[in-house]
Chain A
């Protein structure tokens, strides 16, 4: 590890200009549970770390059933799942926030950091995608732009963020009537692991809760970036809830997976698991609507 500069930013504008000055050689620091480890292990060298975890904008956490959720990029997982209203509205996001690392990690690790780290296996990205979350990004020139989460990651470790840009917060739409969400991953152990495959699903059911109005499915660890399985989700729209319909959606999800073989699993194993986990995620979300 080489020495680097640590700068706590006081405003979003200061943060973006500090980042812009150093380009690739600067990174924003929120929980630090990925960044500090990478720097320490020489997997990444930096000249500057810009601490953004004390900015009001990155710490916003407000939910209303009408407008949805504003979630600051530096809000740690534990604050999200400690909020009962948010937990009830976005159970799929909570599924993910509760399985990232252990309790100590969840005290620091943020959803924003999880997205910016841009791991194909990140647990919070599929639920954000299925919930239709939008990234709010501040630019060095004072501008703001919005990008859907499914378009944010461009390759492992790479994102749409340009020089000086900072992910400030997420906007998550209010959940529709008769809807719910679910996320699960497959890991060889019960905890403390990285997804071999992850799958998130959100569903909207009709008032009778027997048919699917719409569904979104997202996959982790089966491509260079987390995927939105658009066709798989769309295939369920208007269908009656049935094993056949769910199996067909799972197969459609399998069709877009392009996994690699590595130390966490083989490509065949991952493709197989996409089918299994997509079924379980859909059934889990449907079950939650029925139980609500």
Chain B
């Protein structure tokens, strides 16, 4: 499987199936849902970063004439202290519940404390002011290094450090420490001609999806709960709500609405269980919406971190040893993406002598969530700038260095497993051969930088059902939220099998009662794994259609061939019929044809990208302008190249935002001071050049068309590439993210 082939549908650029609805504004998002008798829920949030809840008095709110129900953590069932698998990352159910409505303590400003359902949104807002919460304010701890100190204020008085399986004696904010080790580190560094060791810090950043979280729930007296919401995974919502409210999954139906961006941040539930509880209390449908400030302060961003990387190399450019110390903020509860960071930090390279230490640390910030290659960007910012310094010291072109040190299939990685095949060398060469890399860069304070980014990609479970329609089209029912054009990419894979055009497929993202289990849209898995399930379902259809053709022609199924969308036989009689013709004759050959496919593929195939950026720095103001940007990436096989390019561009832009200005800014009380899109500065189109996305195709042997996930990888390289460009522009190495104008001025010694 998966050699380079010519396809009829895969690799083309049809108009997406959901395109008209989206561009005309007709697509229905979570907040668009309406039901008769609808009540409106609003959530009271903690004003403190860290406090004990001494009491909550809801009586004044309950007495308000427009209020129909109030809920607090007391309304939760007692859940077991256990780990639930939520697709992209597992979570402790008690933590999950405590994050939805705080129990004994609030652990960050914005932590949900209580909620009301009222006759309209304004009444609900007003009623929140009638809930009296008495707090005992505690000192907050905001940064990872402060939280790791022995005398740091403790978030969880009973939490012990899991030290590679053993529990620490004393309580600590360090939830866990792990270590990966290969070879002989000391020997490796002794063999190096050049050793560079640097420390880096990054701040908390948010995914910045445009649509805030939303949920409408209706609990029926028969015990069935329905939730309409936008989410990256309807089944993940079902599982979490079932765990938090102790309901059987079979009693919950989650109806996915269109989603206005997620990037990892719409997997965890926040207001969905609250909408459900309010509906249980009132018997009415209840809609809960977040504001932008709620989203910033109350939902999972990606962590701030402290990263130290030490790397040694010989004068001829071979890495001899590499070491990384990764300390990541988990937010209020254990579970940062430090494991993924450890996985990715040195993965593009052959590192025979290596060690990676990872620390998962709780701080008084929202519990972190996934964000596009979670953890990898923090780690790559460090590793990829250390490599740049090494290249400078030994006088080697940074792309040559990457080719020289690229991990080959089977090389053992620092974290243990052998490296799978990925087109790193091909991707570096695409960057090197691109006109951008050899274009002269003239003018003062300008510089060019490069960096690479690696993400392993995920497989996980998907289900697809295909119904053949009498007019020769198919309806394709899937369970994957379409965030980046996956309806099209999945439909195209089925169309390829059946020899029909992409336009002959009608894809539908179904609710949890109407399709088989499908894991979240995350881990860059959807075009790969749900596409795989669609391929299997189409194969099933194909097989059944062959049987129908055989019946029609009264020949053995073995005598029927299928090629280029045409069924044919030469056995005794020569007959042929195309897919459409045969679809019209299903009634006379046994009735409807329904194909099914499931997938749980274990070879997602990593993805790797190399980015080249030109910047200009204003040395008087510290502002960095992005002049030109090129991103190359191995997509395995780009099913719909426009959406692959879109992913590469979108990821690069988010990485640029992370590099330049995005950060949670905290005051000394642990309050975020920039919880709006005015002061949390994502780049606008006026801050960006066109991102030149270059697709490299080294087929993934684990997929019938060679597909690799592409969504996450492109966010990883930008901060390091930009830092390396800034160095060439103005001669300073930036070791903090974001490289905001103030930080640049400071590093330049101007302030």
- Chain A residues within 8 Å of B, Cβ to Cβ: 1-3, 42, 186, 188-194, 196, 262-266, 268-269, 272-273, 276
Whether, in the assembled complex, B13 has its beta carbon less than 8 Å from a beta carbon of chain A, the answer is no
9-residue interface stretch from B589-597, B602-610, B678-686 = B678-686
Q: Does B741 interact with chain A (Cβ within 8 Å)?
A: yes
| Contact status B751-A272, CB under 8 Å | yes
Of the candidates A2, A192, A265, the one whose C-beta lies within 8 Å of that of B742 is A265
Residues of chain B lying within 8 A (CB to CB) of residue A269: 622, 741-742, 745, 751
Q: Which of A1, A2, A264 contacts B679 (CB 8 A)?
A: A264
B665 CB–A CB distance under 8 Å: yes
- Chain A residues lying within 8 Å of B741, measured Cβ to Cβ, are 186, 188, 196, 265, 269
A190 close to B686 (CB less than 8 A)? yes
Interface check B740, CB cutoff 8 A: yes
How far does the alpha carbon of A268 sit from the alpha carbon of B749 in the complex, in Å? 12
* Cross-chain contact A189 with B686 (CB below 8 angstroms): yes
> Known: A42-B125, A269-B751. Contact between A191 and B686, CB under 8 A?
yes
Complex contact B122–A263 (CB within 8 A):
no
Q: Whole-angstrom distance from the CB of B678 to the nearest CB of chain A?
A: 7
Which of B660, B673, B678, B751 touches A194 (beta carbons < 8 Å)? B678
Residues of B within 8 A of A188 (CB): 623, 660-661, 681, 740-741
Taking a contact as CB atoms closer than 8 A, the residue among A1, A190, A193, A273 that contacts B678 in the complex is: A193
A189 touches B681 (CB 8 A): yes
Please state if B687 and A189 are interface contacts (CB–CB under 8 Å): yes
Q: Beyond A188-B740, A189-B684, A276-B620, list 19 extra A-B contacts (CB 8 Å).
A: A186-B621, A186-B741, A188-B660, A188-B661, A188-B681, A188-B741, A189-B681, A189-B687, A190-B684, A191-B686, A193-B678, A194-B678, A196-B741, A262-B673, A263-B665, A264-B679, A266-B751, A269-B741, A276-B621
Asked if B642 is an interface residue, CB under 8 A from chain A, the answer is no
Give CA–CA (A262, B674) in the complex, Å.
Answer: 9
Residues of B in contact with A (beta carbons under 8 Å apart): 122, 125-126, 620-623, 625, 660-661, 665, 673-674, 678-679, 681, 683-684, 686-687, 740-742, 745, 750-751
A2 — which chain B residues lie within 8 A by C-beta? 122, 126
Main secondary structure of the interface of B (DSSP, over half): loop
Instruction: Tell me the nearest residue of chain A to B619, going by C-beta.
Output: A276
Bound-complex Cα distance A272 to B741 (A): 12
Residues of B within 8 A of A193 (CB): 678, 681
A1 to B120, CA, bound (A): 12
Chain A, residue nearest B126 (CB): A2
* Of A186, A263, A276, most B-chain CB atoms within 10 Å: A263
When distances are taken between beta carbons in the complex, the residues of chain B under 8 Å from A264 are 679
Residue of chain A at shortest CB distance from B665: A263
A265 nearest CB neighbor, chain B only: B742
What distance in Å separates the Cβ of A269 from its nearest Cβ neighbour in chain B? 4
Closest A-B pairs by Cβ, 6 of them: A263-B674, A263-B673, A263-B665, A268-B751, A190-B686, A269-B742
Nearest chain B CB to A5's CB is how many angstroms away? Answer: 15
Which residues on the B side are within 8 Å of A266 (C-beta)?
A: 742, 751
What is the minimal beta-carbon distance from A214 to any residue of chain B, in angstroms? 26
Residues of B within 8 A of A263 (CB): 665, 673-674, 679
Task: State the Cβ distance, B453 to closest chain A Cβ, in Å.
Answer: 24
- Bound-state CA distance A268–B622 (Å) is 13
Q: Is the CB of A1 within 8 A of B674?
A: no
